[in-house]
Each structure stands twice: as structure tokens, then as C-alpha cells.
Amino acid sequence: MSRKDIEVILMRQLSSYLAMPIIVIASDGALVYYNEPAEALVGRRFDEAGELSFEEWTAIFEPRDDHGVPLPMDSRPLAVALYEHRPSHHTFWITGMDGIPRRIEATAFPLEGLNGRHLGAVAILWASSHP
């Protein structure tokens, strides 16, 4: 694992103990961790996928609306939390690394440290069954 802020390491550790699907993004946009419950939505075990750059994971999952239109970056919860430093929620479709399309809800929030240090973002995911 590359060098990370201690808060990101602790968020990763906390996420590993929770039953809700969680994704952790570092301040450079790299996907640094998703927990076991998120593996079912992502379509691959984190141990197999490993860390992904912002460009890699946004291209793989390419969030789309209910009509198949790619979501603009300012509608993607993790991008909003990461770049605008504010929480965001949205329901959208992704295609997992296993090729299966899934409708999910994501709530993302910025990960902030002491003295205003921006450390990244965290998303909590849910499989969405309602339109």
C-alpha cells in the first residue's frame, strides 16, 4: 500500500468492520479501499482489484442515469465530495467489474482532517430496487 494519511488508514480499518458497503477515496482521487459488503456491488473482491486511479475507477463504473446517459461529474456523489468538499447523494446505474449492471444509491461525504486538510471522500452504497 502506498503512503496514506492516518485518517484514511483509520477509515479503511473502520470500514472493514461495518456491514454496509463502503468505498474510500484518497485526496488524489484514487480508490484506496472498498469493504467486503461493497464487493457484491463492485463485482470483484478488493484483494483482486486493488487500488485504482480516479481515471480507472470512473471509467470502469461510469455511472449512468435511468436512461443510460452517463452522469456528469457534478452529479457523481464521490466526485462532488472529493472536489467540491460537500456531501452528495444520487441514485444511478453502474456496471460492476463482473459485467452486471446494478442500480445503486450512493451517499458520499468529504473526509476532512484537522486544520482543514482534505483527505479524500467516503461513499456508503445501497442496492436500489425502486425506480
CATH code, 49: 3.30.450.20
**In the predicted model, what is the mean pLDDT of residues 115-120?**
91
Residue 111 maps to a domain: yes
The verdict on residue 1 lying in a domain is no
> Which amino acid, residue 130?
H
Is 104 inside a domain boundary?
yes
DSSP category for residue 31 = E
Residue 37 lies in a domain: yes
> Residue 48: is its pLDDT beyond 60?
yes
CA angle, 102 as apex, 28 and 54 as ends, to 5°?
10
Residue 2, pLDDT above cutoff 60? no
Question: 109 forms bridges with which residues in the sheet?
Answer: 122
| Confidence (pTM) | 0.91
- Block residue for cell numbers 485504482: 52
Q: What is the mean pLDDT of residues 12-34?
A: 96
Distance set, CA 117 to CA 76, 108, 120, 128 (Å): 22, 17, 9, 33
Q: Please, which residues bridge with residue 111 across strands?
A: 120
Which pLDDT score, from 0 to 100, does residue 129 have?
Answer: 72
What pLDDT sits at residue 3?
58
| Total count of domains within the chain | 1
Mean of the pLDDT values across residues 59-72? 92
| Percentage of residues of the chain with pLDDT beyond 70 | 96
pLDDT above 90 (res 59): no
Structural domain boundaries enclosing 107: 6-127
Residue 19 CB contacts under 8 Å (≥ 6 apart), including other chains: 37
